[in-house]
A and B are shown apart, each in its own frame.
Chain A
Amino acid sequence: MDLKRKLRRLNLWAYLFIIPALTFYSVFTLRPLTQSIILSFYDWDGFNPVKRFVSFANYIEALSDLVLGLALLNNIKWVLISIILSQGTALLLAVLISRCIIGQSFFRSVLFFPNMLSPMIAALIWGRIYDPLIGFVNTFLKSIGYGHLARGWLGSPEWALIAVCIANSWRAYGYYMVLYLAGLQSVDPTLYDAAKVDGANGWQEFWYVTLPSIRSTTTLVLSLALINSLMTFDMVWGMTQGGPFHRSEVLSTLIYKTAFASNRVGYGCALSLMQAILIFTITILFIRIRERSEG
């Protein structure tokens, strides 16, 4: 009887219900993570039975890896460009759709469509759009008399990253738009009435009513965009594989190439752990700053 009471006090049932999820989490997240940490101290090609312990050598090498520096810089550029493009587009479209009286769900579905495409399909489509000879972008530029601006976008050292980032933002904005739409539904309509009474125009309504009211949604969406941008891989891989000559290389493509194409699994693990720590730190910092400013 005493034992029963003790067990009840320990919420045994709650623990029992957690076990399946915890098992999955341990097998598919904690175990690989632990293995990655261990492997990052080894020189290993991924399939040889012999692994050579190299202590912190992989981490020391990473500090002087110029390509890693370039990939990190590209990732920062990627974060900035994609946040401006995908967030700007998503918020703008969400606000416009929320004001539609008829056809709201139609527009929501149509505009969400790019997000449903697999990244590789989207990469193929955009590869055609950027084709130097028959692609839409160059054909359009030539047709309006700006043929001198036409170029091989995905092979251009200056434009490759931006070109891929635009394509990725096109694919990503739909998801953020839906989140913003959900946030906009929670805005109290009387606030708009009050703003109108005070003589606010459309822009002022947006700036002083809409934006502050969806602050928590914005924090969530920006955090998601930040994490996704720092982990971005598929569109870059599908369109340029990080080229030309690392000009669109991001951390994830570099890690993939290092671990699986160059068979340097140990070094790849070290890089991926550094990436994970970076994402974790930046996200925590971002959320803290937002919370403080809200507080």
Chain B
Amino acid sequence: MRRSFKVLSLLLVILIGMSSISSAYGQKVIKFAYEGEWMLEFFKWYTQKNPDIKIEASPITLEDVDTGALQLALVGGTGPDIMQIDAAPGRMGMLALAGLLYPLDEFYAKYGWDKKFFPWTLRSVTYNGKKYGLPSEVEYIGPFYNKNIFKKLGLNIPKTYEEFKNLLSKLKSAGYIPVTQGTRDPTPRGHIYANFIEASAGKIRVERLLYGNGRWDSPEFNLGAKELQELVRSDLVYKECNSLKYSESNNLLWTEKAAMTFMGTWILYEYLKEYSKMDFGYFILPPIGKDVPGRFTGGLGSGYAISAKTKYPEECVRILDALFNTPEGQKMMLTVGKVVPPLPILDFSKVKKDLHPLQIDVIQKLKDPKGIGYNLSVYVPTTVKNVYYENIQGLMGLMISPEECNRNIQKEWERAKAAGLILK
């Protein structure tokens, strides 16, 4: 009996020893939830340079936030130490105000981030006067098209909305799906809708809605929704789009069955890795409203935030600083990840030759945020988001009128406003 007790005790000691082997080597384990696969290369580089840090990487998607999985993990203390999430009131803001994120103001001062990042990008990571994240990338969301198809049919980039509609008709006559959009998934609904709202209402009215007393059911917003629905009705935007998932819709683009889709710069990574034979271009959806210049939507895509429950805030911050403020980190971001960081590029002349024209375009427009409209999906609070996505699906499935769609969103918006959920 005594002997078996000894054997058992020995086994227990070995097990405990094995489990804490990282600590024995003085390694600190940081759990990092990342969006882009390219980050794995950065983690490898960073941990080689910092052997005291072990990064446990796991992928994260928008769904993890929108379905509450991340929130539950953070509350339960099993969530990541660092997470990449949309830097907007509906996502990062919600977590920040619930006390789930670590306030980073002291680190902003210590590392001089205030002066390094473009000031306009910091608005999206600031809630109730405190900074809860680092802006991670700037993105465009707009119409992306297959250049081969355009070349084959002799089509040019449209300058007016009428030209845009003619272009779609020509594509349809030639046997292509003019615009595909995977609206069986929620987020692509927001991508296309926000572009039409930007084209019909313009950035100033959208800003008035988000930060003032503007209304979803105003005539300018209804106009954008109406035009979008008309395109679906005429099958110029694929009428079965509600049956397609995001990936299925993209496949139609890659296989040249469809000519266009509304998506963002994040697609560069997938495109250059898997489908680089297809040459694609992008343009701004021409204005529908009379007094609107026409812009991409987008702005700041996501940000990095640190869990309020992390044991290693300083170490987490050092990882992020290495990503943004070293030439190696930035190079990986630009050339491997194909994303555009929200701060001046340290060795721009050296990396420029390796960049896609879209990246260069975004970098050049970075200092002028007026050139980018709002991706509405990330600005609506979580309580409104479901109603927002559902109603766009109803609009695109010809199940409700444009007015009804926007009225329903406005109703939920008012309720969120009354509950103090519309963040400034």
Residues of A within 8 A of B (CB): 45-49, 127, 130-133, 151-157, 240-241, 243-247, 256-257, 259-264
Shortest distance in angstroms between B377's beta carbon and chain A's nearest beta carbon? 13
Residues of A within 8 A of B186 (CB): 241
Does B98 lie within 8 Å of A261, measured CB to CB? Answer: no
Does A46 lie within 8 Å of B71, measured CB to CB? Answer: yes
Which residue on B lies nearest to A259, using beta carbons? B68
- Beyond known contacts A130-B243, A259-B68, A261-B67: 14 more, CB 8 A cutoff: A47-B100, A48-B98, A131-B248, A132-B244, A155-B240, A155-B242, A157-B397, A241-B184, A243-B242, A244-B393, A244-B397, A260-B71, A262-B386, A263-B71
Residues of B within 8 A of A131 (CB): 243-244, 248
Residues of A within 8 A of B358 (CB): none
B59 at the binding interface (Cβ < 8 Å): no
Residues of B within 8 A of A257 (CB): 386
Q: Which of B73-104 contact A (CB under 8 A)?
A: 74-75, 94, 97-100
Shortest distance in angstroms between A107's beta carbon and chain B's nearest beta carbon? 34
Among A131, A244, A256, A259: residue with most chain B CB under 10 A: A244
B7 at the binding interface (Cβ < 8 Å): no
B205 at the binding interface (Cβ < 8 Å): no
What are 30 contact pairs spanning A and B, CB under 8 A?
A45-B382, A46-B72, A46-B75, A47-B75, A47-B98, A131-B243, A133-B252, A133-B257, A152-B241, A153-B243, A154-B242, A154-B243, A155-B241, A155-B242, A243-B242, A243-B390, A244-B399, A245-B390, A245-B391, A245-B394, A256-B67, A260-B68, A260-B72, A261-B66, A261-B67, A261-B385, A262-B383, A262-B385, A263-B94, A263-B383
The listed residue (A45, A157, A246) touching B390 by CB distance below 8 A is A246
Residues of B within 8 A of A263 (CB): 68, 71, 94, 382-383
The listed residue (A47, A133, A152, A261) touching B242 by CB distance below 8 A is A152
Shortest distance in angstroms between A218's beta carbon and chain B's nearest beta carbon? 37
Does B71 lie within 8 Å of A47, measured CB to CB? Answer: yes
Cα–Cα, bound, A257→B69 (Å): 12
Shortest distance in angstroms between B400's beta carbon and chain A's nearest beta carbon? 7
Shortest distance in angstroms between B365's beta carbon and chain A's nearest beta carbon? 33
Which residue on B lies nearest to A48, using beta carbons? B98
Shortest distance in angstroms between B380's beta carbon and chain A's nearest beta carbon? 11
Which residue on A lies nearest to B398, using beta carbons? A157
Cα–Cα, bound, A256→B67 (Å): 8
Q: Which of B351-407 contact A (CB under 8 A)?
A: 382-383, 385-386, 390-391, 393-394, 397, 399-400
Residues of A within 8 A of B98 (CB): 45, 47-48
B245 at the binding interface (Cβ < 8 Å): yes
Shortest distance in angstroms between B248's beta carbon and chain A's nearest beta carbon? 7
Residues of B within 8 A of A244 (CB): 184, 242, 393-394, 397, 399
A155-B243 CB under 8 A given contacts A245-B393, A245-B394 = yes
Residues of A within 8 A of B397 (CB): 155, 157, 244-245
Residues of A within 8 A of B74 (CB): 47
Q: Which of B207-259 contact A (CB under 8 A)?
A: 239-245, 248, 252, 257
Cα–Cα, bound, A157→B391 (Å): 13
The listed residue (A47, A152, A241, A247) touching B240 by CB distance below 8 A is A152
Residues of A within 8 A of B242 (CB): 152, 154-156, 243-244
Cα–Cα, bound, A179→B400 (Å): 45
Shortest distance in angstroms between B323's beta carbon and chain A's nearest beta carbon? 28
Residues of B within 8 A of A133 (CB): 252, 257
